[in-house]
Amino acid sequence: MLTDRQLQIFQFVIEQYIKTAEPIGSKFLAESGVFDIREATIRNELRALEEAGYLTHPHTSAGRIPTESGYRFFVEELLVLKEIGNKAQEEFDIIAKSEYDKQQKQKFFAKYLAEVSGTAIIVVFDRNSMYYTGFSSLFSEPEFREYEKALSVSAIFDKCESCLETLKKEKEKGKYYLIGKENPLSEHCSTLLGSFGENGLFLLTGPMRMDYGRNISYLNKILGLIE
């Protein structure tokens, strides 16, 4: 059970790491002006969060980064959905009101979402029809500069069709996110799940460091427009 102070520190660490992709250290936290406590106390709290399994530290840095369990805890317990900005709202409305057919609109929504979220989007119309976009954005993220990770994530193209039943079952169980090792597409990624129509799936896949609050809001908005 985390204390209120530990929860505040953890939420700040994960939000900063999502923005910067840089490990967060006690010195940065002490100088942020957010916490009215000494750096030594912050170090102790970071150590406690690491012992709880929510943070870890890379060997090359004294700073901490979230663990897979940390991301899951953040989404389940601390997540705050973000407002959709005016520009994005306007773009969504333009696509929704266009004269294109339903499937073409879904493709335009996917392409725009990939641009604003920096993630890969997979739209499954049915087992024999899928649309992919945004993979270049996904591979440009810092996490995938390592060759082995990039190679692993590139296998999403090959895995997607064979994972469809698993993804559908997870969505039917009420699951709307799959993080790390629970994600059949890639253990290095998180996938947000949305469904539409009778068999449609709208999948947003990005690094575990993705901006969940923003991306879930985007996805919910799109799903409301394509039903």
Distances (CA, A) of 42 to 24, 27, 35, 74, 166: 11, 9, 9, 19, 41
**Residue 72 predicted with pLDDT over 90:** yes
Q: How confident is the model at residue 161 (pLDDT cuts 50, 70, 90)?
A: confident
Average pLDDT of the segment spanning 69-96? 95
Q: Is the dihedral of CA 84, 87, 93, 96 positive or negative?
A: negative
Among 60-69, 86-95, 149-158, 167-176, which is the least confidently predicted range? 149-158
Q: Which two tokens stand for residue 182?
A: 């629970």
- pLDDT tens-place string over residues 6-26: 999 999 999 999 999 999 999
Distance of alpha carbon 120 from alpha carbon 136, whole angstroms: 8
pLDDT of residue 103: 94
Query: Where in the chain do CATH 3.30.450.40 domains reside?
Result: 86-226
Indicate the fold that domain 4-78 takes in CATH. Answer: Arc Repressor Mutant, subunit A (1.10.10)
**Residue 147 predicted with pLDDT over 80:** no
pLDDT of residue 54: 98
Q: Work out the mean pLDDT of the chain and round it to a whole number.
A: 92
Superfamily of domain 86-226: GAF domain (3.30.450.40)
Q: Is the dihedral of CA 177, 179, 181, 184 positive or negative?
A: positive
**Residue 59 predicted with pLDDT over 80:** no
Angle between helices 86-97 and 102-117 in degrees, nearest 10 = 160
- Close Cβ partners of 72 (under 8 Å, ≥ 6 residues apart): 179, 180
Q: How confident is the model at residue 224 (pLDDT cuts 50, 70, 90)?
A: very high
Distance of alpha carbon 69 from alpha carbon 88, whole angstroms: 31
DSSP state, residue 203: E
**Amino acid letter for position 92:** F
Average pLDDT of the segment spanning 109-125? 94
Query: Where in the chain do CATH 1.10.10.10 domains reside?
Result: 4-78
* Residue environment code for 35-68, b if the CB has 16+ CB neighbours within 10 A, otherwise e: beeeeeebbebbebbeebebbebeeeeebbbbbb
Q: How confident is the model at residue 44 (pLDDT cuts 50, 70, 90)?
A: very high
